[in-house]
Amino acid sequence: EIKKLKKINDYEWEIPPRGEMRVPGRVFASQDLIEDMDDKVYEQVTNVACLPGIVRASIAMPDAHWGYGFPIGGVAAFDPDEGGIISVGGVGYDISCGVRTLRTGLKREEVLPVLERLVDELFETVPSGVGSEGEIRLSPQKLDEVLVGGARWAVEKGYGEPEDLEYIEEKGCLPGADPSCVSMEAKRRQHRQVGTLGSGNHYLEIQYVAEVYDRKIAEAFGLEKDDVVITIHCGSRALGHQIATDYLQVLAKASRKYGIPIKEKELVCAPIRSPEGEKYFKAMACGVNCALANRQVITHLVREVINAFFKHARVTLLYDVSHNTCKVEVHEIDGKPRRLYVHRKGATRAWGPGRKELPEAYREVGQPVIIGGSMGTASYILAGTEEGEKKAFGSACHGAGRTMSRHQALKRFRGERVIDDLRKRGIIVRAKSKRGAAEEAPEAYKDVTQVIEATCRAGLTRKVVKLLPLGCIKG
């Protein structure tokens, strides 16, 4: 498979168009990452390149691995004026899964003496685990307000501060959401899940700034060495999953109806300008808003805990990014602005300096891009670039990416042992499921540093700070 790749430069590879491909495939990665990459990624990138209305290229990020239909770490933009499509597989099951990082204004040495108690208190306060339920109970009617309002709904209900909204993509609320496009089943399942972390890969982590790479940008982001931050990773819980499940069926029918050739079951899609495509977009926007509300409510819970320990600490939102979305964005293609539906699955939006949508504080330096590594390794905060907008619609990786399947990891590691080993290194982990901890062993992920180097050297982002974990809560 690798032989089919044409090297453009040290960090950029092309799958030249052949057969039914409408555009080339483009993989951003170092030689080492390419050699380790799952061959399925190339096949999936190629399949996506065959979809109607795709613009410029079918793209894979350095952390790419196999996913349903589209690779995880995949980016593809479609033009509605050219018959472009929208696809469940291009967004993912956990609609708007994403990360947000909170500044605490605290230094590492202040937190270390209470670290264990702090982790325990966060573990008690933020509901986590499979099917976890929170204090907020919402009837389907009440839930509709969440699906339309997103994080704005949460702030109006007292979960958080109005200023938080400024530091969320779309200012906390994606327009176009229509709850009538979401099934009762999806709403019923979400009844008590707003404000819960979920399971497995989702986490709440206490981290500190271990290294500053770019002083100017770090200053704009309000980060200094040894600052303690808290990162929340979760998505739209049962609601998003049910929307995806429901619409896979709708779009399977649509693909046949509109005669779109489908190479893999999860690549089913509908023209953006079709009743089915429009409906999915409206439902997906509900999923996005649900995730934004979810992370906002958790932020409120985190604030309460931090302030119980440190009365005067001011917890502020650095930024909230989603890495499973389809968004309508204007991009310049061959000198002309075009309105595109940009799918990012396991990929983060990474806009460069100047974009008017960015909060004023970051407009000169570019968007904060928050990247998780694993509970035992570094995580990073990067900044978007103009070059990335030209090369990849302003997108970056979203994590280290798995190198082992959950199944393989379970065979290799024992949860208790993983947690013990981390404790010996000073990292306090609390996990609802020991099995989950095994699946999430740091060794089950690629080397995040390599992924970050490749993403930055490809020009997609700039390295701003490195974070190291102090404590982690896993579902």
Catalytic residue list: 398
- Binder to ligand 5GP among 195, 346, 388, 471 (CB under 6 A)? 346
- Contacts of ligand 5GP in 161-180 (CB under 6 A): none
- Segment contacting ligand 5GP by CB under 6 A, of 218-226, 273-281, 392-400, 419-427: 392-400
Residues in CB range of 157: below 8 A, 6 or more apart: none
Cα separation, 467 vs 226, in Å, equals 9
Quick check: 97 binds Mn ion (CB under 5 A)? Answer: yes
Least CB distance from residue 279 to ligand 5GP, whole Å?
26
Least CB distance from residue 97 to ligand 5GP, whole Å?
5
Residue 364's CB is within 10 A of a number of other CB atoms, namely 12
Quick check: 75 binds ligand 5GP (CB under 6 A)? Answer: no
Residue among 211, 170, 168 nearest 329 (CA)? 170
- Tell me, rounded to whole angstroms, the distance of Cα 326 from its chain centroid: 12
Q: Which is nearer to ligand 5GP, 155 or 206 (CB)?
A: 206
Selection from Mn ion, ligand 5GP, none that 196 binds (CB < 5 to 8 A by kind) is: none
Quick check: 235 binds Mn ion (CB under 5 A)? Answer: yes
Q: Which residue is nearest to Mn ion (CB)?
A: 97
- Segment contacting Mn ion by CB under 5 A, of 151-159, 228-236, 359-367, 425-433: 228-236
Quick check: 398 binds ligand 5GP (CB under 6 A)? Answer: yes
Q: Which is nearer to Mn ion, 94 or 227 (CB)?
A: 94
Least CB distance from residue 472 to Mn ion, whole Å?
15
Quick check: 208 binds ligand 5GP (CB under 6 A)? Answer: no
Q: What is the dihedral of CA 399, 403, 409, 412, to 10 degrees?
A: -130
Burial class (CB in 10 A: 0-12, 13-18, 19+), 245: middle
Residue among 374, 435, 439, 438 nearest 405 (CA)? 439
Selection from ligand 5GP, Mn ion, none that 445 binds (CB < 5 to 8 A by kind) is: ligand 5GP
Selection from ligand 5GP, Mn ion, none that 346 binds (CB < 5 to 8 A by kind) is: ligand 5GP
Quick check: 38 binds ligand 5GP (CB under 6 A)? Answer: no
Give, in order, the Cα–Cα distances in Å from 136 to each of 157, 190, 300: 11, 10, 13
Q: Which is nearer to ligand 5GP, 12 or 63 (CB)?
A: 63
Number of residues binding to ligand 5GP, judged by CB under 6 A: 21
Q: Which residue is nearest to ligand 5GP (CB)?
A: 399
Quick check: 372 binds ligand 5GP (CB under 6 A)? Answer: yes
Quick check: 375 binds ligand 5GP (CB under 6 A)? Answer: yes
- Contacts of ligand 5GP in 93-122 (CB under 6 A): 97
Q: Which is nearer to ligand 5GP, 144 or 440 (CB)?
A: 440
- Segment contacting ligand 5GP by CB under 6 A, of 155-163, 181-189, 393-401, 404-412: 393-401
Selection from ligand 5GP, Mn ion, none that 379 binds (CB < 5 to 8 A by kind) is: ligand 5GP
- Contacts of ligand 5GP in 436-455 (CB under 6 A): 440, 445, 448
Quick check: 199 binds ligand 5GP (CB under 6 A)? Answer: no
- Segment contacting Mn ion by CB under 5 A, of 52-60, 218-226, 230-238, 418-426: 230-238
305 close to 165: Cβ distance less than 8 angstroms: no
- Binder to ligand 5GP among 84, 401, 415, 436 (CB under 6 A)? 401
- Segment contacting ligand 5GP by CB under 6 A, of 3-11, 124-132, 328-336, 370-378: 370-378
Quick check: 63 binds Mn ion (CB under 5 A)? Answer: no
Cα separation, 380 vs 210, in Å, equals 10
Quick check: 94 binds Mn ion (CB under 5 A)? Answer: yes
- Segment contacting ligand 5GP by CB under 6 A, of 141-149, 217-225, 307-315, 369-377: 369-377
Quick check: 399 binds ligand 5GP (CB under 6 A)? Answer: yes
Number of residues binding to Mn ion, judged by CB under 5 A: 3
- Binder to ligand 5GP among 289, 325, 374, 461 (CB under 6 A)? 374
Burial class (CB in 10 A: 0-12, 13-18, 19+), 162: exposed
Q: Which residues of this protein are in contact with ligand 5GP, per CB under 6 A?
A: 63, 72, 97, 201, 203, 205, 346, 372-375, 379, 398-401, 440, 445, 448, 472, 474
